[in-house]
């Protein structure tokens, strides 16, 4: 994700900020602009309306906004809603249809952390043109989310089913997430990573199944029609770490089933473009130690229209991850990027890149007949939750 600057004073901002720490301006993320902007109340208008803050205002009738309902009620969102949009929730929050029980004190913080990660996912999907920043008539575009908590005798499983992504809110607890990382033999487990992975299942349905790319998918990832439940059971029965998995997969879990291979690869691709946009926004220049200044190259913004070459992306990705890991080690931390991509994994990442940048196939309905109804589907136990209005 790129860095932002305050419209009022130019001070650097983080995506989650609601106020500039330098000049005190109120801030809101404007989805239509995909930018975090300084805002001010609309003078002499109904209370609760805002507009972009400008030192030298030129536009006579600037766009007006409301703040997301979840900001007003829970201080849990910093997105704005165009005044014409009759939905009280922003384009990200309206994707969440069930919240955890907020009367449980720890659930509010868990929910907040998950929503922060979901807004980052929304940003990346929007930059890639995969989700609308301005759906018509207050509607939503993208997967639907439920954030659930375990209940006695009922364990919530994180997963995807027919466009619904379920997240166990305990994943927002650092200690629990680390415990599961160790038990599941996962070197990398984050909230944002979970959301990116599950969104991959959603976009398998939308881009591969409905986009008419099933046969092309099978040529790269394998036959997804093999029994999913049996494949997953066999994966865990074998210890979950098959020998040589690095040769053709981005993770050991990706070997479990072609659907999981796709979702893991999809999530990895989103990691790549998001981190590269961050590096580009800092005008990062890369040169592998031992090279000369003439070898230095500035990291390109992967979302720029002229940057669509996957080979160029990978060429810059490798030294960028070396830099990232070196910085982490200097702070006494583990590698932030504990992966080494080989030819087989790169081929799959290239496939994801090409699918994202290819137009949807209008005749994708034919593919539905040869593919399962949906990608990985996990039945989530029903617990008493709070439904979001």
Q: What is the DSSP string of 360-387?
A: P-TTTHHHHTTS-SSS---PPPP---EE
* Inter-helix orientation angle 258-281/191-203, to 10°: 120
φ and ψ of 139, to 5 deg = -80, -175
The more confidently predicted of residues 75 and 187 is 75
Report DSSP state, residue 104: S
Domain residue ranges of the chain, discontinuous segments joined by +: 1-88, 91-387
Rounded Cα–Cα distance for residues 19 and 71 (Å) = 13
Mean pLDDT, range 40-60, rounded to an integer: 79
Higher per-residue confidence, 306 vs 15: 15
Q: Which residues pair with 165 in a beta bridge?
A: 145, 160
The pLDDT of residue 370: 34
Dihedral-angle region of residue 155 (phi above 0 means left; psi in -120 to 50 means alpha; beta otherwise):
beta
Cα 261 to chain centroid distance, Å, stands at 17
Q: Tell me the pLDDT band of 307, cut-offs 50, 70 and 90.
A: confident
pLDDT score for 292: 63
Cα Rg of the chain (Å, integer): 22
> In DSSP terms, which residues pair with 285 in a beta bridge?
298
Per the CB < 8 A criterion, the answer to whether 43 and 88 are in contact is: no
Which band of pLDDT confidence, cut at 50, 70 and 90, is reported for residue 59? low
What percentage of the chain reaches a pLDDT higher than 70? 86
pLDDT in tens, 79-131: 999 999 999 999 999 999 999 999 998 999 999 999 999 999 999 999 999 99
Cα separation of 270 and 40, whole Å?
Answer: 33
pTM score of the predicted model: 0.90
DSSP per residue, 197-241: HHHHHHHIIIIIITTT-HHHHHHHH--TTS-HHHHHHHHHHTTS-
């Amino acid at each position: 994700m790129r860095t932002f600057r305050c419209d009022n004073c130019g001070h650097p901002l983080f995506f989650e900020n609601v106020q500039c720490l330098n000049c005190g301006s109120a801030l809101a993320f404007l989805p239509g602009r995909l930018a975090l902007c300084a805002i001010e109340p609309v003078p002499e208008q109904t209370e609760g309306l805002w507009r972009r803050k400008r030192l030298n205002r030129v536009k006579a009738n600037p766009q007006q906004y409301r703040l997301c309902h979840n900001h007003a009620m829970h201080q849990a969102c910093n997105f704005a809603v165009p005044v014409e949009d009759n939905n009280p929730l922003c384009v990200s929050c309206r994707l969440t249809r069930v919240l955890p029980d907020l009367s449980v004190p720890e659930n509010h913080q868990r929910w907040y952390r998950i929503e922060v990660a979901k807004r980052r996912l929304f940003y990346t999907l929007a930059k890639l043109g995969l989700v609308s920043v301005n759906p018509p008539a207050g509607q939503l575009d993208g997967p639907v989310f439920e954030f659930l908590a375990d209940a006695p005798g009922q364990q919530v499983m994180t997963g995807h089913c027919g466009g619904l992504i379920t997240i166990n809110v305990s994943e927002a607890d650092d200690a629990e997430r680390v415990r599961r990382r160790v038990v599941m033999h996962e070197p990398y487990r984050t909230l944002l990573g979970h959301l990116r992975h599950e969104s991959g299942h959603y976009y398998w349905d939308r881009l591969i199944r409905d986009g008419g790319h099933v046969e092309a998918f099978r040529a790269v990832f394998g036959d997804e029609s093999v029994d999913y439940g049996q494949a997953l059971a066999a994966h865990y029965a074998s210890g979950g770490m098959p020998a040589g998995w690095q040769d053709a997969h981005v993770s050991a879990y990706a070997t479990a089933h072609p659907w999981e291979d796709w979702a893991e690869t999809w999530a990895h691709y989103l990691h790549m473009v998001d981190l590269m946009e961050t590096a580009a926004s800092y005008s990062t220049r890369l040169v592998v130690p031992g090279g000369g200044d003439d070898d230095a190259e500035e990291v390109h913004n992967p979302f720029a229209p002229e940057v669509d070459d996957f080979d160029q992306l990978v060429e810059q990705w490798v030294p960028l991850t070396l830099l990232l890991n070196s910085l982490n080690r200097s702070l006494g931390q583990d590698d932030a990027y504990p992966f080494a991509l080989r030819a087989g994994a790169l081929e799959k990442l290239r496939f994801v890149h090409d699918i994202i940048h290819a137009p949807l196939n209008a005749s994708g309905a034919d593919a539905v007949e040869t593919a399962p109804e949906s990608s990985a589907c996990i039945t989530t136990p029903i617990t008493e939750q709070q439904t979001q209005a």
